[in-house]
Structure 1
Amino acid sequence: MAHNSLFAILLRSRWWVSFLIAAATALLARLLLPKDYQWLAVFSALPFIVIGAIAAWKQLQQPSPARVQETLQAMGAMPWAKFADTLEQAFRADGQEVTRLPGPKADFQLTRAGSLTLVSGRRWKAARTGVEPLRELQAAMAASGAASGLYVALGEPSDAAIAFARENGIQILRGNDLARLMRR
């Protein structure tokens, strides 16, 4: 699905927005269609109802902002060894096969269904992530033939880091996504 398509935007929006659009679509179809075709009003709203239900389900699965903050603070207080163990357990609980890597450029190698992902997380406490650690991860990805990379961060990535990650197949795992992974 295209990132800026109507349904992709609705999936990222609050669930009730889709239901509101469904109601408006059904009402508009009911008003504009001839009497014999007014039953089509329900079908015109059906895609929005389905998207609203999916968005509602996803939003119910999200941890609360207080829980996210609590989890991120707990991770920030951990030393690297404990954080690495916790991260490894979380990846395993997510169904990944995890291998620890000895080098400084990447910390873990994740494998699922033949797909290889390298993970870097040693600088997870940095308040601001720049491009340099992402370049190191990208070099490790190129050397190992990994299709994707994952950079774990508690702090904010710079705009240049976000652009570099996007261009090189690296996902920056932070905030809600990181807290959800660690809660598993």
Structure 2
Amino acid sequence: MAPNSLFAILLRSPWWISWSVAGLIALVCGALLPSHIAPYAAVGALPIFGVGCLAAWRQWRAPSSARVQAVLGQAAEMPWRSFADALERAWQAEGYAVRRLTGLQADFHLEKAGQTALVSARRWKAATHGIEPLRDLQAAARAQDVPASTYIAMQGTVSDNARGYAREHGITLMEGEALAALLLKAPRTATAR
């Protein structure tokens, strides 16, 4: 789905907006069309109503902002090994085969249903995230012929140049709510706090 299509925009919006648009379409059909045709035309609003249902389901399942901040705060206190373990458990819970890498350019190799990706997460606590680690990740992805890559940035800011570079090269930036949602999927271990 195109990121700026009507359905994509409605999916990112509060659920009630989709339902309001669907209701408005049904009202306009009822007001402007003959009474024997209006119900059939109003059926065209059902896909928009369905998008509203999907948006409501996603929003209901999304963690609260307080929960997101708590998870990110806990992750900020973790040493690298604990953070990497939590990421690995979360991806495994999503069905990925996870392999840790020892190079400095990428930290994880993910595979699921024949799709592979490299992830760079070691600099998750950096104050500023610039282009260099993204270039390193892109070079590693090219060298290993891996089509997708993700850069994790929990703290600090990602520079505008780095965001542009990520967009240009198809690198996914995982930060904030997306990172917290991933970490919440990690099953607790006996040693986890």
Q: Distance in 1 between matches of 2:82 and 2:126?
A: 17
Q: Aligned with 1:36: secondary structure?
A: coil
CA positional deviation for 1:164: 0.8
Q: Which residue of 2 aligns with 1:104?
A: 104
Q: Which residue of 2 aligns with 1:165?
A: 166
CA positional deviation for 1:38: 2.1
Q: Which residue of 2 aligns with 1:94?
A: 94
1:34 to 2:34 alignment = yes
Q: Which residue of 2 aligns with 1:179?
A: 180
Letter paired with 1:133: P
Q: Distance in 2 between matches of 1:77 and 1:176?
A: 17
Could you list the per-position Cα deviations for residues 103-160 of structure 1 after superposition, in whole angstroms to 9, with x for gaps in the alignment? 1110110011121101100100112211111011001101111111011111331111
Q: Which runs of 4+ in 1 moved over 6 A?
A: none
Contact 1:11/1:52 (8 A) holds in 2:
yes
Which structure 1 residue ranges, 5 or more long, are not aligned? none
Q: Distance in 2 between matches of 1:40 and 1:115?
A: 42
Q: Distance in 1 between matches of 2:106 and 2:44?
A: 49
Q: Which residue of 2 aligns with 1:70?
A: 70
Q: Which residue of 1 aligns with 2:190?
A: none
Q: Aligned with 1:139: secondary structure?
A: helix
CA positional deviation for 1:41: 4.6
- What TM-score, normalized to structure 2? 0.92
Q: Which residue of 1 aligns with 2:140?
A: 140
Contact 1:29/1:44 (8 A) holds in 2:
no
Letter paired with 1:157: V
Q: Distance in 1 between matches of 2:2 and 2:86?
A: 34
Q: Distance in 1 between matches of 2:180 and 2:158?
A: 17
Identity %: 49
Q: Which residue of 2 aligns with 1:23?
A: 23
Contact 1:72/1:175 (8 A) holds in 2:
yes
- What TM-score, normalized to structure 1? 0.96
Contact 1:27/1:41 (8 A) holds in 2:
no
Letter paired with 2:5: S
Which structure 2 residue ranges, 5 or more long, are not aligned? 186-193
Q: Aligned with 1:21: secondary structure?
A: helix
How many equivalent residue pairs? 184
Q: Aligned with 2:59: secondary structure?
A: helix
What does 1:103-122 align with in structure 2 at a 5 Å threshold?
103-122=103-122
Letter paired with 2:85: D
Q: Aligned with 1:59: secondary structure?
A: helix
Q: Distance in 2 between matches of 1:58 and 1:35?
A: 36
Letter paired with 1:59: Q
Contact 1:134/1:151 (8 A) holds in 2:
yes
